[in-house]
Structure 1
């Protein structure tokens, strides 16, 4: 293709890909191989010294995965990307070059329950810690930052409530204190939101969700904006100081905007080994080809269902940001102008027991621990994904006991509503 600017719909199909040079195959092949033969000894040495870009071993790089990395980076407007085995792996991969024993990350209280656990419990095993802050209060974010803080982390559209973060305001705080802003863009996808345009340094995805869109594989991705100056302070020695494993190479000095991406592959995947397999990359590439079409339908259906729920006497409240009643509705036009995605919660009158009965009475909805599928999905977060949290933490995360989370699919919207209607009748009888 020529270098002229291309629209999102074109890039989601073509970015990073070209016909296979060996066979002419038009769809990106699944390179199901562990290793790659070197041309000669000098070629092998150049690859291992990071003097030449190429393929060594599929824990590090794979041609199928490489196409996916370039496609996601292009759609997000980033300099480069590293794909890995899951969304949680992507979050660790994003933090790994930044953190160290005794260092902390300031994170939003509105996060997926598994991320809350990862940040509040699991990262302690690395000697890291997290400070949880209401990201609607930018002064509180600034006050939480100390000399040991190494990153600020939030979700663009938060799971489970669908709350929209004012990324511009948070990025302004991050810039003022010289820290990278990491944004989980899973729920929005790059079609609805581009965090880098709003000041994000790194963008992470669970590619399992909307990007793949068909509930077949797990995966994650870290996209680097390429805009952060890792050498501006001594806070990020993994990127600015000599790397002993590569004969004193300084990643940022040598690789500039691609420093974080190369570190993620050459050190992160090399040593953590959280690799995406090529078949998963293939399924995700196929899913991304229809991303814009699916997201338009997801948003259209979600709006229709949310309006219906809001008007129903059996429902206490609905959190969908697309509704005019939402306190986050004013952020839709600025942060995600194409729509507020399809993830939200609603509270059922009758509390915990009514929620459980509702879920057991649904027929079209799938009761699963997933989101972003073509199918409509539902879960009672307080008893599942957020079960490990206290009730106070559940409410702070938008997963109160009387609330269910839905991910509205691309089925006929009237059929979705009819299924909710009959199940609510049974649940609130």
Structure 2
């Protein structure tokens, strides 16, 4: 093997793991164990002092989960990270080393409905808060950042509308404010976008989606670039000052670029316990091996379906950024040059009731609260994933009552279109040619 950088598909298969030296097994084993034998008392002490990297207890680290984290870190260009029990867990874990009572984040208005609820309601129980801002209004983003702001949060390709975020522009604001930019890269995956190369400090994933790709896993990941200077100001005392939760260790001066990752393990996973299970990690490792192949087909199919829908007289509009009519079309080349992903929405001229009828008449599409499967998936966000939001919030999030969200799979695209066509006819009482 040479020293030249390896390509995406090579890393997706080989990064983070090697054939087992004892058995020759080429796939990482599922280490279904709770704890790990220490060599002696000194070895145990070194592990607990973070003087040596190793396994102590599977709430903290597990070899299968570590292999997954290393693989995704290689794909994202990250220094380190952690595996979590879900994408939602990953969001809390991403914030945990940064936040404290009275602190806030500035978040995009275009986020998954469950994330909006988590940030607008649930994090209040920690004494944290969120300010929601249209991230296309860069002046508003900058103005929303105050002395208590500890991060800016956005999605690369926003769920549900497929909106593309201008990551470099947000990164410049975050840099000026001395805070990290956190990007949820779930719907893009590192095949379409590597946010850290565009200025993001931290990347989160719901591994439940495209990384695994087959709807078998609930999991999440937090990746850190290792490049942020946590000691540049006094905003992040858990990293830059003696941490009382870990016998006064000063994480950043001691551990440098791995400070955030080790804090997330030694304190975050230790005390919050939002740990990924090894079997789930194994499934995601296997899924990632074909990520590049799948994403290429997802994007190819999505563009064809979006163009077909846009030309349909029964459809009001389509939000796919890969369409020339999209206000975010030019941004695709800068942020996701391989394509605009496979998640988008479309609106029906006949409104809410027609959306419900469409859902009920689709035959091949799976009606589920998920995205990123090999299968094509559909949901009416306003009555499900975004139901807890007001209509005004739904509209801002791209989930208006007359909108249906599609996650385009890798089936034969003619079959995807045929299913949509017959369901549209049933829902509206009109054929495409009428």
Q: TM-score, normalised by structure 2?
A: 0.98
The C-alpha deviation readout for 1:214-241, integer Å capped at 9, x for no partner, is 0001100000011100000110001111
Rounded to whole Å, the distance in 2 between the matches of 1:246 and 1:139 is 39
Rounded to whole Å, the distance in 1 between the matches of 2:372 and 2:246 is 40
Q: Which residue is equivalent to 2:355?
A: 355
Cα deviation for residue 2 of structure 1 reads 4.0
Cα deviation for residue 246 of structure 1 reads 3.0
Q: Report whether the alignment pairs 1:121 with 2:121.
A: yes
Q: Which residue is equivalent to 1:145?
A: 145
Cα deviation for residue 68 of structure 1 reads 0.3
Rounded to whole Å, the distance in 2 between the matches of 1:348 and 1:418 is 17
Count the aligned residue pairs. Answer: 429
Rounded to whole Å, the distance in 1 between the matches of 2:244 and 2:23 is 41
Q: Report whether the alignment pairs 1:343 with 2:343.
A: yes
Q: Report whether the alignment pairs 1:304 with 2:315.
A: no
Cα deviation for residue 3 of structure 1 reads 3.1
Q: Which residue is equivalent to 2:389?
A: 389
Q: What SS does structure 2 have at the residue aligned with 1:150? A: strand
Q: Which residue is equivalent to 2:432?
A: none
Mapping for residues 35-184 of structure 1, pairs under 5 Å: 35-184=35-184
Q: Which residue is equivalent to 2:253?
A: 253
The C-alpha deviation readout for 1:370-391, integer Å capped at 9, x for no partner, is 0000000000000000000000
**Which contiguous aligned blocks of 4+ residues in structure 1 show a shift greater than 3 angstroms?**
none
Q: Which residue is equivalent to 1:425?
A: 425
Q: What SS does structure 1 have at the residue aligned with 2:208? A: coil
Contact 1:49–1:246, Cα closer than 8 Å, also in 2: no
Q: Which residue is equivalent to 1:276?
A: 276
Rounded to whole Å, the distance in 1 between the matches of 2:209 and 2:116 is 18
Cα deviation for residue 4 of structure 1 reads 2.2
Rounded to whole Å, the distance in 2 between the matches of 1:407 and 1:244 is 45
The C-alpha deviation readout for 1:156-205, integer Å capped at 9, x for no partner, is 10000000001011101110111100000000000000100110000000
Q: Which residue is equivalent to 1:220?
A: 220
Q: TM-score, normalised by structure 1?
A: 0.99
Q: What SS does structure 1 have at the residue aligned with 2:191? A: helix
Rounded to whole Å, the distance in 1 between the matches of 2:175 and 2:244 is 30
Residue segments in structure 1 that go unaligned for 5+ positions in a row: none
Cα deviation for residue 400 of structure 1 reads 0.1
Q: What SS does structure 2 have at the residue aligned with 1:21? A: coil
Cα deviation for residue 23 of structure 1 reads 1.6
Cα deviation for residue 369 of structure 1 reads 0.1
Rounded to whole Å, the distance in 2 between the matches of 1:97 and 1:28 is 30
Cα deviation for residue 365 of structure 1 reads 0.1
